[in-house]
Amino acid sequence: MEGWIMTISFSERIAVGKRVPKAKTRPSALDRRIALALAEERQLSGRIGAHALTLAFGAVAVWCALVHPWPGAIFYLGIVACFLGLAWSWRELAKRPLSVWMALGFILVNAILLTITLLVPNPLDPPLMPVQMKLRPPAFPFFFLLIAWSTFTLSPWLVLGATLIVVAVWTYGVSFIAVRPDTILGFGLPQGANPSESIALYLDPHFVDSAAYASGVFTALLIAGILAVAVGRMQRLVDVQARIERARDNLARHVSANLVEELAEVDEPFGPARNQEVAVLFTDVVGFTSLCEKLSPEAVVHMLRGFHEHMADCVFEHGGTLDKFVGDSVMATFGTPRPSPNDAANALACARSMLRRLERWNLQRLARGEPAVQAGIGLHFGPVVLGDIGNERRLEFAVLGDTVNTASRLEGLARGLGASLVVSQALIDRVLDQAGELPIGDMQRHASITIRGRTQALDVWTLRRASGTSAVAEVAGAA
């Protein structure tokens, strides 16, 4: 029992800031979970982005309807209905897992509909101007909305794929106009001997400037490249964050949550070694060896897991730090890594909660025909030494000192004293200062006891075992 140490691997701290090369192996369970989480996030983001995109395109169609006289506006209102239908279809499709092809298909249909909105002459309007005039306003930037929507998929490849689809659909629409017999095709301002003739040709309503088309496509490709890099980086950050959260969750299975936060938030969470007053709690199963003789190995492991789970829950509920599990023993501290005004009172409340939790658990065990589990608890309050020990590759957070050893000895005395709880006078005095006499309740003061390893006798308080197991005894007797 000498020199109990709370062990924390700091490898997670080091791995967060250092990129470790991965071996080429099949995807791990963590990789599959991250992939599934990303797929669900893509599904949600894509659905939200689709609604935003549909509203934007609907606004474009409404704007066209407002600036066009009736009955020609009916054509654009019909297109608004088509966009709303796409939104409804996507919402229905998004109720199940979405594939890459479904996302690209959604982009394709929207791109086709947008091209129709921008380039196809309104059949309800009289043909007042050549169709080539449809290319004079800067219409292609509307397609950037589709490229922007593709970023919601959190996939750089989908961003590039969406851009290629947009460019292909727009190219087809422009080409359909460019190959008309009455189209005058040029690249920028026509170059000629007479500037007036060049300007007149450029202003001809049948003139199509392929340079404007090329500039729009080139700009779209540049923007798509930048967005793809940004989305790839975003995906990488999501992956790293998911792994960090997973690492913290795994670390929390070995140490208390308050220690995980200390490790994660600062580079040197505990600083140099220091002296600090804390409450130390030890508990273990009474008669564990005899129980092991009667139970199968599987039953022993099942019992220990249940015991550890109930005891750990009590520690966390009362603001303690779970130090370690050693066989059937549990060590916890109150006041680490940072002290609080009620550490001693919290430790005593935790011990009582453990006994009540154990009593309820035993009722369930007896109902299943399993033997009851009794525990002894020892509590002490006093100074300890806190600090990191180890080397650069592995550190351990140590809680050392006479207080730790004394608490362990008090837990060992519980069996001989017929008590479920043995508490030192030092902790009782601190509880009286922090919470008054109420938490002490039915505890009794015991005569001074000399503890092995200590020359000075120790005043202790006890809680008789019968007070914590009466209900279990009644059930066992009825059985």
**Residue 475: pLDDT band with limits 50, 70, 90:** very low
Per-residue pLDDT at 5 exceeds 60: no
Residue 283: what pLDDT? Answer: 93
Name which of 69-78, 316-325, 464-473 the model is least confident about.
Answer: 464-473
Q: What is the pLDDT of residues 147-188, one digit of tens each?
A: 887 787 778 888 888 899 999 998 888 888 888 888 777 787
Dist. CA 471–CA 360, nearest whole Å: 9
- Residue spans of the domains in the chain: they are 11-17+28-250, 273-478
Residue 2: what pLDDT? Answer: 38
Q: Report CA-CA distances (Å) from 384 to 3, 6, 25, 379, 402.
A: 11, 13, 46, 14, 7
Residue 209: what pLDDT? Answer: 80
For the ranges 47-51, 92-96, 120-124, 305-309, the one whose mean pLDDT is highest:
305-309
Greatest CA separation found in the chain? 119
Q: Give the bridge partners for 421, in sequence order.
A: 377, 463
Average pLDDT, the chain: 77
Among residues of the chain, what percentage have pLDDT more than 70? 71
CATH number of 273-478: 3.30.70.1230
Dist. CA 118–CA 64, nearest whole Å: 9
Residues in the chain: 479
Question: What is the chain's alpha carbon radius of gyration, rounded to the nearest angstrom?
Answer: 37
Name the residue with higher pLDDT: 78 or 403: 403
Q: Helices 210-252 and 156-178 sit at what angle, rounded to 10 degrees?
A: 170
Residue 143: what pLDDT? Answer: 83
Q: What is the pLDDT of residues 16-56, one digit of tens each?
A: 334 444 444 555 555 666 666 666 666 666 667 666 766 77
Residue 247: what pLDDT? Answer: 64
Q: Which residues of 197-231 are buried (b: 16+ CB within 10 A; e: fewer)?
A: eeeebeeeebbbbeebbeebbeebeeebeebbeeb
Residue pair 378/407 in contact (Cβ under 8 Å)? The answer is: yes
Averaged over 407-435, what is the pLDDT?
90
Residue 415: what pLDDT? Answer: 85
Name the residue with higher pLDDT: 356 or 249: 356
Burial of 265 (0-12, 13-18, 19+ CB in 10 A): exposed
**Residue 357: pLDDT band with limits 50, 70, 90:** very high
Name the residue with higher pLDDT: 134 or 50: 134
Question: Model pTM greater than 0.85?
Answer: no
Averaged over 107-124, what is the pLDDT?
81
What 3 state SS string does the chain have? CCCCCCCCCCHHHHHHHCCCCCCCCCCCHHHHHHHHHHHHHHHHHHHHHHHHHHHHHHHHHHHHHHHCCCCCHHHHHHHHHHHHHHHHHHHHHCCCCCCHHHHHHHHHHHHHHHHHHHHCCCCCCCCCCCHHHHHCCCCHHHHHHHHHHHHHHCCHHHHHHHHHHHHHHHHHHHHHHHCCCCCEEECCCCCCCCHHHHHHHHCCCCEEEHHHHHHHHHHHHHHHHHHHHHHHHHHHHHHHHHHHHHHHHHHHCCCCHHHHHHHHHCCCCCCCCEEEEEEEEEEEECCHHHHHHHCCHHHHHHHHHHHHHHHHHHHHHCCCEEEEEECCEEEEEECCCCCCCCHHHHHHHHHHHHHHHHHHHHHHHHHCCCCCCCEEEEEEEEEEEEEEEECCCCEEEEEECHHHHHHHHHHHHHHHCCEEEEEEHHHHHHHHHHHCCCCCCCCEEEEEECCCCCCCCEEEEEEECHHHHHHHHHHHHHC
Dist. CA 178–CA 180, nearest whole Å: 6
- Single out the residue of 412, 317, 394 nearest to residue 9, CA to CA: 394
Per-residue pLDDT at 68 exceeds 50: yes
Residue 12: what pLDDT? Answer: 35
Phi, psi of 334, deg, nearest 5: -125, 115
For the ranges 359-373, 376-390, 458-472, the one whose mean pLDDT is highest:
359-373
Averaged over 326-344, what is the pLDDT?
88
Q: Are strands 375-390 and 274-285 parallel, antiparallel or unpaired?
A: antiparallel
Q: Give the bridge partners for 382, in sequence order.
A: 278
**Residue 354: pLDDT band with limits 50, 70, 90:** very high
**Residue 114: pLDDT band with limits 50, 70, 90:** confident
Name the residue with higher pLDDT: 65 or 5: 65
CA 112 to chain centroid, in Å, comes to 39
Dist. CA 288–CA 293, nearest whole Å: 9
